[in-house]
Amino acid sequence: MFDLHCHSIFSDGELIPAELLQRVKVMGYEAVAITDHADHANIDLIVPRLLAAARALNQISETKLIPGIEITHVPPPMIPELVSRARALGAEIVVVHGETLVEPVEPGTNLAAIRAGADILAHPGLISEEEVKLAAERGVFLELSGRKGHSLTNGHVAALARRLGAPLVINSDGHAPGDFMTPEFAFRVGRGAGLSEEEVRELYRQARQRFLEGASS
């Protein structure tokens, strides 16, 4: 079990990285990515702090902490620059906050994130067929969210991804201790989006192959 999208006190989460890691460790996770919200004002503050936490904690923790970032509510023309900056700073997973139904995300964000080569497009809402095709071509993972509100379009995302071959990932978007999913619940999120048992297992296999091989050690 792993989760590639959650938040610590460095944005709007409730936990410091060490406690977040411990909470998912006792749930049997093999890895967790902290991907705090960022824009131009704080990206250079967050990524180095998460890198420092990962370097220290991963020396002894069986559950690996992956330092990442979530580019959030940034105007679409500015997303490519921040994706590149995040990678230069050392972020191992770059998430972009997609066009969820429950927040006023600027239209064009999904397309800009995919074109910029983000690793994961979080809760992409009513993403278009053309955007899913492009995500499939560029290997951008589309998120099925376990978070209330963001999960409203999981079925839409899963159906298009299945038909057009885009990779999927299931994440909690966890902000608080009660947000982190058990393996059983995460599996049900995938099944609830319309995927078969085999498709859920396969999406985890693909995400593990892509992301966990690069986890901090």
CATH number at residue 197: 3.20.20.140
Separation CA 89–CA 45 (nearest Å) = 10
Q: List the end-to-end C-alpha distance of the chain, in Å, as a whole number.
A: 18
Residue range(s) defining the domain that contains residue 79:
2-214
Task: For residue 6, list its beta bridge partners.
Answer: 34, 174
Q: Can you give the pLDDT at residue 214?
A: 52
Separation CA 153–CA 149 (nearest Å) = 9
Q: Can you give the pLDDT at residue 213?
A: 78
Q: Average pLDDT, stretch 173-190?
A: 98
Q: Can you give the pLDDT at residue 62?
A: 96
* pTM, entire model: 0.97
The yes-or-no verdict on residue 217 having pLDDT over 60 is: no
Tally of CB atoms within 10 A around 198: 8
Per the structure, the count of domains in the chain is 1
The yes-or-no verdict on residue 164 having pLDDT over 50 is: yes
Average pLDDT, the chain: 97
Expressed in percent and rounded to 5, the helix, strand and coil fractions of the chain are 45, 15, 35
Separation CA 47–CA 90 (nearest Å) = 7
The yes-or-no verdict on residue 165 having pLDDT over 90 is: yes
pLDDT bracket for residue 215 (50, 70, 90): very low
pLDDT bracket for residue 173 (50, 70, 90): very high
Q: Are 38 and 204 in contact (CB under 8 A)?
A: no
Q: Average pLDDT, stretch 63-89?
A: 98
Q: Which pLDDT tens digit goes with each residue over 100-141? A: 999 999 999 999 999 999 999 999 999 999 999 999 999 999
Q: Can you give the pLDDT at residue 166?
A: 98
Give the residue, 58 or 216, on which the prediction is more confident. 58
CA 136 distance to own-chain centroid: 17
The yes-or-no verdict on residue 216 having pLDDT over 60 is: no
pLDDT bracket for residue 169 (50, 70, 90): very high
pLDDT bracket for residue 27 (50, 70, 90): very high
Q: Are 13 and 50 in contact (CB under 8 A)?
A: no
Q: For the chain, what percent of residues have pLDDT higher than 70? A: 98
Q: For the chain, what percent of residues have pLDDT higher than 90? A: 98
Separation CA 188–CA 163 (nearest Å) = 20
Q: Are 153 and 123 in contact (CB under 8 A)?
A: yes
